[in-house]
């Protein structure tokens, strides 16, 4: 392992020098971790490394109150493609608050599916009141995105960011939390799922998948994941009471037909922390990451895991917005922000853990996280990690 680290460090230094010649945007290398800037100024990046080697990227640009979502892709270390705008109505996404921006997933044949909370000007409007939960997908020719659609039917009061997951058999899962008609308060909020069986061409009406008494923290962002074994997962901050806002994993072993609570990480706090979280799948079992009381926590999970023990990593420095990537060796990089807040940027920090979840000596920190943003990460085929911000 130590030999590999030394070799990776030398390789990455050569890559850095080469990238400076080619203009690939790599700004610095730490061991087996490469830190890059986005191809243009942008906020709240999301990245997915596909099995075919393609790297898919989305991010926000423009006015934080009325933003656009841009999509790019590249192969290996090739330059990024020219951007495609995801949202068909200009300015219909929102960056303010950091937790209502886009999330995306790759489905059958690598199709890109994108979900985001609509801005105040977004069309179509939500019939349930408040912001719409919007969806778009990459067209068959890969040259543009479909007209955006609102998938909220009977629910209202969309707040914390929604999410999307997809599998290789054409299923797409749009997930958000909101209030059923006639109900109010965070303890009465629920997680809703609108599912598609035809690659997002059509969706069934939304249905609640929350266990009774779970609730949902209003301004916190959930995230969803579908794995290759029929599992579907939703990681959210619950609101069992006004003081009990546990991080909770809902899991389904049957393609989203039914969900149960797999584990929760308790946090007693009398306010909404405006948090977000991350899920990643791996052959050795997926990982979840979230914040509790200003510190990043991680846990392995699967559809058969049952109760698990979350573990804290990093220092207690106001950590928020963790993101994950796992390489072919089973190592996982966790990257998060420190010092960010309302109208305040900060720094990013990271830690690599081994296949058993134990921290390695691969860790670091650097400034440069913009207001309303965070970092994202992916693993390259050689096992090195790339952080984008």
Domain-embedded: residue 42: no
CA 33 to chain centre: 20
Distances from the Cα of 217 to the Cαs of 161, 244, 342, in angstroms?
A: 11, 9, 18
Domain-embedded: residue 351: yes
Residue 139: which residues within 8 A CB-CB, separation 6 or more?
A: 145, 146
Least confident residue range of 1-10, 108-117, 178-187, 251-260:
1-10
Domain-embedded: residue 26: no
Q: What is the pLDDT of residue 348?
A: 95
With 0-12 / 13-18 / 19 or more C-beta atoms within 10 angstroms meaning exposed / middle / buried, residue 331 is: buried
Q: What is the pLDDT of residues 335-372, one digit of tens each?
A: 999 999 999 999 999 999 988 888 999 999 999 999 99
Q: What is the pLDDT of residue 258?
A: 94
Residue 349: which residues within 8 A CB-CB, separation 6 or more?
A: 314, 317, 319, 335, 336, 337, 338, 363, 364, 365
Q: How many domains does the chain have?
A: 1
Domain-embedded: residue 21: no
3-state secondary structure of 123: coil
Residue among 179, 269, 266, 176 nearest 221 (CA)? 176
Distances from the Cα of 253 to the Cαs of 67, 105, 292, 305, in angstroms?
A: 36, 19, 27, 11
Encoded tokens for 13: 């230094």
Reported pTM? 0.91
Residue among 112, 170, 108, 168 nearest 139 (CA)? 112
Domain-embedded: residue 360: yes
Domain-embedded: residue 88: no
CATH number at residue 159: 2.120.10.10
Q: What is the pLDDT of residues 30-79, one digit of tens each?
A: 558 999 999 999 999 999 999 999 999 999 999 999 999 999 999 977 99
Domain-embedded: residue 385: no
CA trace torsion 114, 116, 119, 124 (10° rounding): 60
Q: What is the pLDDT of residue 298?
A: 94
For residue 241, give its domain range: 96-378
Domain-embedded: residue 277: yes
């Amino acid at each position: 392992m130590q030999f590999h680290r030394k070799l990776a460090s030398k390789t990455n230094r050569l890559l850095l020098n080469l990238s400076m010649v080619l203009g690939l945007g790599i700004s610095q290398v730490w061991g087996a971790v490469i830190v890059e800037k986005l191809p243009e100024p942008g906020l709240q990046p999301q990245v997915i490394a596909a099995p075919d080697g393609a790297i898919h990227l989305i991010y926000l640009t423009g006015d934080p109150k009325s933003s656009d979502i841009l999509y790019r892709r590249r192969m290996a270390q090739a330059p990024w493609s020219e951007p495609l705008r995801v949202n068909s109505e200009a300015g219909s996404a929102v960056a303010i608050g950091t937790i209502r921006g886009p999330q995306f997933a790759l489905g059958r044949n690598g199709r890109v599916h994108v979900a985001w909370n609509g801005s105040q000007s977004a069309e179509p409007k939500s019939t349930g009141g408040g912001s719409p939960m919007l969806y778009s997908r990459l067209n068959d020719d890969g040259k543009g995105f479909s007209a955006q659609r609102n998938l909220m039917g009977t629910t209202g009061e969309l707040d914390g960011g929604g999410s999307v997951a997809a599998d290789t058999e054409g299923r797409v899962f749009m997930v958000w939390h909101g209030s059923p008609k006639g109900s109010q308060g965070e303890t009465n909020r629920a997680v809703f799922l609108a599912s598609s069986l035809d690659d997002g061409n059509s969706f069934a009406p939304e249905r609640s998948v929350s266990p009774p008494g779970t609730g949902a923290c209003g301004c916190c962002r959930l995230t969803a994941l579908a794995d290759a074994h029929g599992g579907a997962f939703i990681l959210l901050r619950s609101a069992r009471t006004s003081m009990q806002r546990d991080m909770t994993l809902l899991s389904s072993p049957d393609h989203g037909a039914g969900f149960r609570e797999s584990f929760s990480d308790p946090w007693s706090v009398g306010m909404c922390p405006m948090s977000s979280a991350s899920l990643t799948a791996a052959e050795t079992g997926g990982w979840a990451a979230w914040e509790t009381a200003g510190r990043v926590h991680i846990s392995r999970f699967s559809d058969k895991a049952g109760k698990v023990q979350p573990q804290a990593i990093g220092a207690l420095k106001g950590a928020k917005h963790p993101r994950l990537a796992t390489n072919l060796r089973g190592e996982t990089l966790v990257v998060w922000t420190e010092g960010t807040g309302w109208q305040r940027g900060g720094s990013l920090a990271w830690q690599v853990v081994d296949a058993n979840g134990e921290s390695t000596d691969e860790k670091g920190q650097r400034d440069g996280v913009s207001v309303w943003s965070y970092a994202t990460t992916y693993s390259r085929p050689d096992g090195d990690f790339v952080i984008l911000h």
